[in-house]
Amino acid sequence: MSAVPSIPLRVSPETLTTRATHVRAQDRWFDAAAALLLTGGVALFALGRKALTAMANGSYPAPLGETWVARADYHAAQTQWGIWLTVAGVAVALVSAARHVAHRRTAAR
């Protein structure tokens, strides 16, 4: 026997069927919504910042039919929307975590 604690490689069937480990479908929808909001928000923020950086460096192609100010405002708004979507995703994720904890506590009784 070694002194290093071992982790069992198999999960017992009792653990898999315990009611406390079950996650409801409604909670999974909250998880999915949070993931989509976070992913979309981060992507939108990154694209907006990348475009604004390219404009500042002079490597952004000239906008056709609009001014540089209008294009900069567009990408600044894109960045702000990305921030708001990320904040909303974090809020939904916190609500989802609270729902998971509340469901786990009621299921354990």
Report the predicted TM-score, pTM, of the whole model to 2 decimal places.
0.72
Ordered by start, the domain boundaries in the chain are: 24-108
* Per-residue pLDDT tens over the stretch 12-58: 666 555 555 567 777 788 899 999 999 999 999 999 999 999 999 99
> Cβ distance 68 to 76 under 8 Å?
no
Question: In the prediction, which pLDDT does 86 show?
Answer: 97
